[in-house]
Structure 1
Amino acid sequence: MTRVYLRSFKLQDAPLLLKWGQDDDYYRLAGFARYQNLMQAEKAAGQYAARPYSYALCLQKTQQLIGLVELYDRGTNERDLLQTKEVGFLLDKEFSGHGYMTEALGLVFNYAFNQLKQEEIWAGTFAANYKSQKLLRRLGFKYVYEVDLSKISHLFSYQEKYYLLERKEWLKIKTNTES
C-alpha cells in the first residue's frame, strides 16, 4: 500500500506554493518559481491545475500536500512528442528522506509507461542537486549528458544534468521488485 496519492492542484494549495516560492533552496536546487505574494501563488495554482499531467503529492493518512510531480512534453518531432515525457518534481524539505517521492514517481512512471504508452522519461536536474540525481539513479535512470545553459543564454547561470529512464528498464525494475 502506498503512503501517498496524487491529485490535481487546487486554489487552496496556493499558500504552500507561496512558502516554496519564498524559499531560496527550492529555487537554487530545482529552479522553482519565486512568488512574492499570495496572488502570484494563486495564479500558479491555477496554472498547475490546468496542466494535464501536473500532480499535487499528498499523504494518504492526512491528505496533506507535501510536493508536486509533473510530466512535460519533450521532443522536437511528432514521434518524440508522442513517446517521450520529461518529469519534474519537488518535495517539501520537511518530508525529505521518507521515500515519499520514490512512491510518487513510481505511480507516475507506471501511469506514463502503461497508460500513456511512453517509451522514455527524461529528467533534468541542476548540477548541484545531488539528492535528486541519487533518487533518479535509484529508480533506474541513466545519466546521459550535461548542458551548460549559461553558454546558451545570458538569462541562465546554471548547468543541468539529464537522465533517461527507458520503458524496458522500468518494467525490469518493477518485475524484480514485485517478485
Structure 2
Amino acid sequence: MELTGEKIIIRNFEESDFEVFSQLVQDQSNHETAGLEYSLNKNNSRDIFNKYLVLANTYVIALKSSHKMLGIIELNERGVSDGLDKTREIGFVISSDQRNHGYASEAIKLMLSHSFNTLHLTEVWASVKTTNPVPQALLSKLGFKYIYQVSQDPLHLESEDKMLKYYLLKNENGGVNE
C-alpha cells in the first residue's frame, strides 16, 4: 500500500528501514508512551523488525522527498465478530527527532481517508495513555471523541501510567475529506 500526502507517504516496510526502526525500538519513551516494543539488543530488534516486515495493517510513515522512515502507523483489527469487522484501532509513533512537524497529523488524516473511503469502515478507535497529552490533543483536533478510560492492568487500578483513554471517530458522512 502507498498513500501520498504533502510531506509524507505511508508505505509498506522495506529492508532499508531497519536502522530507523532499530532507533525507534531503542527509545524507551516510545515504549512507555506508544506501546512500541523496546529492545537495546540489535538481534532482538532485528527479530521484531522481521515481524513488522510481514505484519498486516502496519506501515511506515516516510518523508515524501526521500522515502526515509520517520515513524510507524497501524490500523489494527478490533475483532472479527459482527459489528467489529468494520472497525479498526489506529496507532502511531514518530521518531523523537521528527516530532512537531505535522507528520503524525498528516499520516492520521491519510489513514482515516483510506479507512473510511477505501475500506468503508464505520469506526476508527485510538487508545492513549492518560500520561501522554500530546496525542490526546491531536486526536481531539482531528475529530476523535473521548469515550472512556480503562486500566491496562486490573491489579493496579490506581496506577496512572497503566490507564488508557479511548477515543472514537465515527464515519458519519460516508467518508472523510482530505
| TM-score normalised by length of structure 2 | 0.87
Q: Is the 8 A contact 2:26 2:40 kept in 1?
A: yes
Deviations 1:140-176 (A, max 9, x none): 000000011221579x9611110000111684x62xx
Corresponding residue of 1:18:
22
Go from structure 1 to structure 2 and tell me whether the alpha carbon gap of 1:161 and 1:6 turns closer, same or farther (over 3 Å shift). Answer: same
Partner of 2:87: 84
Superposed CA deviations along residues 47-96 of structure 1, whole A, max 9, x for unmatched, are: 1221221110000112211001000011462331x210000100111111
1:30 match: 34
Corresponding residue SS for 1:146: strand
TM-superposed deviation, 1:35: 1.5
Q: Gaps spanning 5+ residues in structure 1: where? A: none
The residue number in structure 1 matching 2:45 is 41
Aligned position for 2:162: 158
Hey, which bits of structure 1, 4+ residues long, moved more than 6 A? none
- Provide the aligned C-alpha RMSD in A: 2.2
Shift of 1:15: 2.1
> Is 1:3 the equivalent of 2:7?
yes
TM-score relative to the length of structure 1? 0.87
Point out where structure 2 has 5 or more consecutive residues left out of the alignment. none
Q: Which has the higher helix share?
A: 1
CA distance in 2, matches of 1:120, 1:112: 9
Which residue does 1:140 correspond to in 2?
Answer: 143
SS of the aligned residue for 2:153 comes to helix
Q: Amino acid of the residue matched to residue 59 of structure 1?
A: L
- State the SS of the aligned residue for 2:60: strand
